[in-house]
Structure 1
Amino acid sequence: MKLTFLSKTFGALFLIALAAIGSVGLQKPADAQLQAQTEPAQNACSIASAQVPESVFDGVNLSAEQFAAYDAVTKRYDDEVVSRLTAKATKVIKPNAVVGFFQRQGVEIPPQLQETIASEAGNSKPAQIDSLTAKYGQHGSFIPEKTLVYNQELFEEFQKESQILLLQILAVMNPEQQQKYQQNQEAFRRSDKACGIDNSPFIKVGDSYELGGYY
C-alpha cells in the first residue's frame, strides 16, 4: 500500500486525528482488497482510486510561510491536545499484544542477529518479555504494544479537537488553496466509499474506542 499523505512530514498522531473525523483516507486500496470484491465493485473502486491524488496537498502549493504556520498548528495539536487526551485514556497491555524491540543507543548489532531478535520478538507475547530480555537485553529493550482505551466522552472530545485542527489548517490557506485541498479530500472519501475501506485507526469495542501503539 502507498501512503497518500506526506508521511515523512506529518506525524502519525496527526494522521490519526484526520482519520478520526473522516477528513481523509490514509491509504489507497491494495490489489488484494480489489480482488476480494465483485467485478462491478472492483470497477467502481478502480475508477475512484485512479482519481485519488498522491497527497491531500497535491496542487495546493503552500509557501514556506504557510508551511511554517501549518507546522505551528500541528505542533500545538500534538503537544497540547494529543498529550492531554492520551493521559486521560486507559492504557492496557493485552495478552496477545505485539512485542517491539528497541535497539539501545550506541550499540551495534550484526545484521543476522538483528534479524533473529526481530523474528523472536515478532513471534512473542508480553509474557515472554523476561526471557527475551535475558537473552538479548544487552542490545536493547523489548516493549509490548499498549492499547489506549477511550470512553465515548473522550472519543467525542478527540473528534471535536480534530475538527478544530482541520479548520486551523484551512485557515493557513487562501480560498483557492482551500478549494483544492477540499477537492483532494473528497477524492479520498469517494475512493474509500467505493472500495469499502475504513481507514480509522480506532476500533470500537462495546462503548469504548481502542487505539494500539507504543506509548
Structure 2
Amino acid sequence: MTKRVAIFLSGGGSNMRALVEDMTAPNAPPSQDHPARPCVVFSNQVDAGGIAWAKARGIPTEVVDHRPFAGDRTAFEQAISAVLAPHAPDMICLAGFMRKLTGGFTDQWAGRMINIHPSLLPKYKGLHTHQRALDAGDARHGCTVHEVTAALDDGPILGQASLEVAAEDTAETLAARVLTLEHQLYPAVLRRFAAGNRKPLLLQG
C-alpha cells in the first residue's frame, strides 16, 4: 500500500524538493515505483519558499504560523494536527522544519516520523554543525536521517552519508557539500523506510 507522506519545512525546502522529485519521478519503470507519495507540504512560515514550490506543482499545502502560539507549544501542535487530518498522512518527513516538537506530538507519530540532520549523529545535535565539525578538526562530516523522538536530534539512525573534510573548507563550503549528500540520502532512506526497511543505509561521498 502506498504511504501518504506529509513533509514539514520552514524555508526553501530543498530536501522537500528532493523527496518529492524522487516520489513522483516521471517515466520510472514499474520495478522502481516509489512506495510513497506526498500528500501535503506543511510549514510554520507563510512565506516559505517550499510552500510556493509545492503549490506550483499542485501539491496540497498547509501553514500554521507559530508566532500566535508563543509559549504554548501544545496549542500549536494541536493546530498542526487539525490541518493535517484532512490529508490523512501515514508518516511525516521533517525537512528543515525549525520548530522543536514536544513528546505529546512525536509520541503520536512514533515510528512514523523521520528527520534529516546535518551532522553524523550522535555528534553535533542542534545548530551550527558545520562550524562545530571544523572546530573539532573532524576528518569526516556528513548528515543523518533518523526517526524522531521528543529528544532533540535523537532517535534510531536510519542512514548516514559522509565526506572528507577538505583543508580549505569553511562552514559555508562544507554546508553546501553536505547539502548535496542530504539530497541523495534522504530520498533513498524514505524509499526504504516507506517499504518497511529500517536497516541503516550508509553512503560515502
Task: Give the TM-score range, shorter chain.
Answer: under 0.3
TM-score, normalised by the number of residues in structure 2: 0.23
The alignment's TM-score, normalised by the length of structure 1, stands at 0.23
Larger proportion of strand: 2
